[in-house]
Amino acid sequence: MLPTSRNRPQQRPARSWSFSEIMDFSDPKRKPRYLSKIIMAALLTAMCVVMLTQPPCHRRPPSVFSTHEPGVTHVLVTGGAGYIGSHAALRLLKDSFRVTIVVNRIFAENAFDAVMHFAAVAYVGESTLEPLRYYHNITANTLVVLEAMAAHNVRTLIYSSTCATYGEPEKMPITEETPQLPINPYGKAKKMAEDIILDFSKSKKSDMAVMILRYFNVIGSDPEGRLGEAPRPELREHGRISGACFDAALGIIPGLKVKGTDYETPDGTCVRDYIDVTDLVDAHVKALNKAERGRVGIYNVGTGKGRSVKEFVEACKKATGVDIKVDYFSRRPGDYAEVYSDPAKINRELNWTAQHTDLHQSLSVAWTWQKAHRSGYEPPAAVIL
């Protein structure tokens, strides 16, 4: 080991050093120190040469996912750890697709055939409070995904969009031809992302297969109880009505807050088209199977029937068996009165029809998961006896 200090009988007077003095090797007492440094440098260089000349068997082998496998479609699922994306990944695996959920350097290390793009923040109320976050997360990140796809020659995109791009149409039900006039940052950010995708798909360089699915309000969970909805605690206030109903039934919150009772609807509360997550995922898989190069398909994914918030709450009470306390408040910013779909196009072209249309049944399935996962995907809280 090189010495870190020397014992001297008396302290030398301080003096400044010049560059020439520092490089002067004429002092015989200093030779061993510099010789040790030279030897150490030579050893490190030799080690580096040995490591770099190791045979390939000592290096990290390429991932099995880094090459295309004939007969197997490899799908990148962005947002694959989220509520809808996780259900989609589970279904794709069941159907023998190869699935990767997005991580760093993902395109460079995997040979993808398609991208199923779910990743997004998705709460209307939150988007009015944090619009820049929504434009960055949804619009800017979609641009990043498209650039990566173009750079790595991935030509199939299934884009998970939203009915929020339509805003509050004058006529119901909503068709794919209904004008897109979003009224909140969430819907605007999604429409911008759609516009970017469509513009790129029209360019001569793209030759893309694009499917855009505009879906309505998602409920339910995996029928086999493997997955469910577990938003981060700070998002509960902005989350889906089903999550709020379950939180109230579990006693996590004191009651349910219904925002808006003066809409021009039969009972004054908002009317929505509730689509079961299992049906929604089925629509995405059917879109993937029907995707064709040079073609763009745009589809509404819904049941075609609107249900009011009050109807939903009653179904939730029945599913949970809890008489949930309900408090009524003024309208939520950026919300709209009535939205439901006309699913005729997706029925006709993709042979897709919603199968899980019983509101009570979908909520009952989701409630079973919620009761078994009171802490979501976190470990159960310790019980103090």
| Rounded Cα gap, residues 109 and 130, in angstroms | 34
Average pLDDT of the residues in 243-266: 91
Residue 30: pLDDT over 90: no
Most confident range, picked from 20-24, 78-82, 225-229, 282-286:
282-286
Tell me if 239 sits within 8 A of 228, measured CB to CB: no
pLDDT of residue 210: 98
| Rounded Cα gap, residues 97 and 85, in angstroms | 14
Sorted by where each starts, the structural domains of the chain and their CATH numbers stand as 64-372 (3.40.50.720)
User: Mean of the per-residue pLDDT values for the chain?
Assistant: 84
pLDDT of residue 1: 43
DSSP-based three-state secondary structure for 211:
strand
pLDDT of residue 336: 78
Average pLDDT of the residues in 205-228: 94
| Rounded Cα gap, residues 3 and 190, in angstroms | 65
Residue 26: pLDDT over 70: no
pLDDT of residue 29: 46
Tell me if 121 sits within 8 A of 138, measured CB to CB: yes
Indicate the residue type of 101: I
> pLDDT band for position 28 (50/70/90)?
very low
Residue 80: pLDDT over 60: yes
Kindly report the CA angle at 110 between 284 and 133, in degrees rounded to 5?
A: 60
What amino acid positions are annotated as catalytic residues?
Answer: 186
pLDDT digits (tens, 9 = 90+) for 302-319: 999 999 999 999 999 999
Residue 54: pLDDT over 70: no
Residue 17: pLDDT over 80: no
Q: How many residues does the chain have?
A: 385
Residue 255: pLDDT over 70: yes
pLDDT digits (tens, 9 = 90+) for 150-202: 999 999 999 999 999 999 898 999 999 999 999 999 999 999 999 999 999 99
pLDDT of residue 198: 97
| Rounded Cα gap, residues 316 and 248, in angstroms | 10
pLDDT digits (tens, 9 = 90+) for 119-142: 898 888 889 999 999 999 999 999
pLDDT of residue 66: 82
pLDDT of residue 64: 73
